Amino acid sequence: APMRREESNGRVPEKQLVEGLTVIDAEIARVTESLASGDLDKLATQNRFLELKYQEAKELGR
């Protein structure tokens, strides 16, 4: 799949994927920490933020 390494509109799809997965990994680590510390209110707020963020991205076609 050579296209995944080709720049398109100033972006390289494979690099975008890796960056996105890095962000997701960091979010999972934060959620895990919240669960471990028992901070359920913070976790609920973070989950709502992510829901809104991904809904907005979906609506914008990202």
Q: What are the pLDDT digits (tens) for 4-41?
A: 677 777 788 889 999 999 999 999 998 888 888 878 88
**Position 1 pLDDT exceeds 70:** no
> How does residue 59 score in pLDDT terms, banded at 50, 70 and 90?
confident
Nearest to 12 by CA among 21, 20, 3: 3
What does the block give as tokens for 3? 């296209």
> How does residue 51 score in pLDDT terms, banded at 50, 70 and 90?
very high
At position 39, the amino acid (one-letter code) is: D
Helices (H), the chain: 13-37, 40-60
